[in-house]
Amino acid sequence: MTKLQSEKLERFSDFGSLLKISLGLIVITMLSSTLAYAEIVSVDVEGNSFDVDYTATGMTVSGVEADLDFVSLIFTVDVTDSLGTLDITFDRSFYDSIYQGEDEEFIVISDGGLEPNFTETETTPQSRTLSIELPSGTEELEIIGSSFDNFISEPTTPEPVVETPEPVVETPEPVVETPEPVVETPEPVVETPKTQCGPGTILKDGECVLDSTPEPVVETPKTQCGPGTILKDGVCTLDERCGPGTILKDGECVLDSTPKPTETSVKGMGKEMVMGVIIAFVAAGIVAVVFGIMSKASKSSS
C-alpha cells in the first residue's frame, strides 16, 4: 500500500509541474502578443538605402518603398489586433514635410483612401515622430511628405525661358502693275424742263398741252339800279324810302316823271283786234259759199 501511495504522489507531482509549465507558456504568449518591439526597416531611394525606426503594437511591418512622384512612403502592414499602433520616427535629413521653411503636417492614408487617426508625438530639429492607429485588416499605409533627402525638394518657380526669335528675311515678290482699262463714261444729257407755255396751254409731265380747265365765271355785281329801285344784297329792289309817285334821285325824293300807259289806249286796241277777227271770219264764210255754188254749177252742167 505504501508503495502504491508513493507512486501516486510521484505522478501527482509530475502533473503539477506540467500544469505550471503550461500556464507559464500561456502567459508568455499573451505578453509576447502585447509587447511592442522597436525595429528598423530599410527603404531604397534612387539607389540610396535609408533606415526608418518604428515600433509596432498589435501589428507587423513587412516592407516599405518610396514613391518619388507623390513624395510618399508606402508601408506593407498586417494588423492582427482590433486596433494596431505604429510609432514611426523620420530623420529630417532623410524625410520631412516642410512648406515655405515651416513644418507642414504629414498626410496619412490607409488602404488607398481611408484617413486613420494619427498625432505627431515628438518634434525636434533632427527628427519627427508620428503615432498612427490602424484598424484590424489594414494592409497598406501611405505617408506623404515634401522631400527625400534633397532628392525631391519643395516646388520652385521655374525661370522663364526667353526664346530669341530668329530674324525672318522676307524676299519681296516682284510687283507687276497691270494698267487699269480706261472706261469713258458719257456725260448724261440733262434736258431742261419747260417752265412756261403759250396762252391756252399748261405744263403737264414736262410738255405743254391744251388747258381744258374751264375758266371761272366771274359775276360782276350790280352797282347801279333804275329809278325807284335800290341795290340790296346785290339785287335791285323797290325803293320804299319815298312815297307813291316819287323816286329817290341824288339822295332826295322827287316826282316820278316816267310816262305811264293809259287804260283807254289798251281798251281801244282790244276792240280793234276783235273787229278784225270777226271781219276775217265773215269774209272766209263768203268765199266758202261762192266756191260751193261754183262747184254745184259745174256738176249740173256736166
pLDDT tens-digit series, residues 208-240: 888 777 766 656 555 677 776 777 777 887 767
Per-residue model confidence (pLDDT) at position 295: 82
The CA R_g of the chain, rounded to the nearest whole Å, is: 79
Per-residue model confidence (pLDDT) at position 158: 47
Per-residue model confidence (pLDDT) at position 205: 81
Mean pLDDT computed over 201-205: 81
CA–CA separation, 235 vs 17, rounded Å? 176
Tens of pLDDT, residues 233-284: 778 877 676 777 777 677 777 777 766 655 545 455 667 788 888 888 888 8
CA–CA separation, 122 vs 114, rounded Å? 24
| Report field, pTM of the whole predicted structure over 0.75 | no
DSSP E strands in the chain: the ranges are: 37-45, 48-57, 59-67, 72-79, 83-91, 95-96, 98-99, 102-103, 107-110, 118-123, 127-135, 140-144, 147-148, 201-204, 207-210, 229-232, 235-238, 246-249, 252-255
Per-residue model confidence (pLDDT) at position 204: 81
